[in-house]
């Protein structure tokens, strides 16, 4: 896989690369030629759309405990309900704690959405397109891919640094790339009876 990635990075310096599933093997060179001949129009169309573009990944994480503590301090309704639960010496606090949990979860979702909107709004003008992927784990609130023109890489990079600096201490940013446009091109190979068929889609 490392060798495969090295080839990708080398070719990407001068040419447009279309991502395909890792590990797709052909028995002979003739099979490759036949596949390309049969899919020429589709591949040419996608290559034209992706020419001069690369993908960058951006993952944003936060500290849930820290965010919860901040919400409990600044949100009056949450703070008052928590105070009532702590100060109550008799009777069950079950329903109050359930209500508090719902309030905190709603407030955290709203806060995460606000952060995500802010990040997208800051990067939208320098990106050709973006794609939201499912966050991984409890700490991640944003897992996105951005399609960038090669000649705007430095501008995009600077924007990411500015946002990361603005939210330092609240959010952590993991920024990767450039990559082939994995999230924006979908090439599906289907091999049957020795014949190759493929579908290439740019989205």
List the pLDDT tens digit at each of the 203 positions of the chain: 888 888 888 888 888 988 776 677 788 899 888 888 888 888 899 999 999 999 999 999 998 888 888 887 787 787 777 777 777 755 667 787 788 888 888 888 999 999 999 999 999 999 999 999 999 998 999 999 999 999 999 999 999 999 999 998 889 999 999 998 989 988 766 555 444 455 555 55
CA distance 51 to 53: 6
Helix (H) or strand (E) holding 153: helix 153-166
Q: Whole-angstrom Cα distance, residue 15 to residue 155? A: 21
- Report if pTM > 0.85: no
CA distance 143 to 61: 9
Question: Of 47, 80, 90, whose CA–CA distance to 184 is shortest?
Answer: 47
């Amino acid at each position: 896989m490392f060798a495969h990635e090295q080839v990708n990075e080398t070719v990407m310096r001068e040419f447009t690369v279309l991502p395909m599933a890792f590990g797709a093997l052909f028995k002979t060179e003739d099979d490759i030629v036949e596949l390309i001949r049969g899919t020429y129009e589709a591949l040419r169309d996608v290559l034209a759309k992706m020419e001069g573009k690369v993908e960058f990944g951006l993952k944003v994480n936060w500290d849930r405990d820290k965010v919860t503590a901040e919400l409990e301090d600044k949100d009056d309704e949450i703070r008052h309900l928590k105070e009532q639960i702590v100060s109550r010496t008799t009777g069950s606090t079950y329903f109050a704690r359930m209500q508090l949990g719902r309030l905190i979860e709603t407030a955290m979702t709203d806060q995460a959405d606000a952060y995500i909107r802010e990040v997208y709004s800051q990067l939208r003008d320098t990106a050709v397109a973006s794609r939201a992927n499912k966050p991984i784990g409890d700490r991640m609130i944003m897992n996105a891919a951005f399609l960038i023109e090669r000649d705007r890489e430095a501008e995009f990079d600077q924007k990411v640094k500015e946002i990361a600096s603005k939210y330092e201490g609240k959010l952590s940013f993991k920024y990767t790339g450039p990559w082939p446009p994995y999230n924006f091109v979908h090439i599906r190979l289907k091999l049957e009876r020795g014949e190759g068929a493929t579908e290439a889609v740019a989205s």
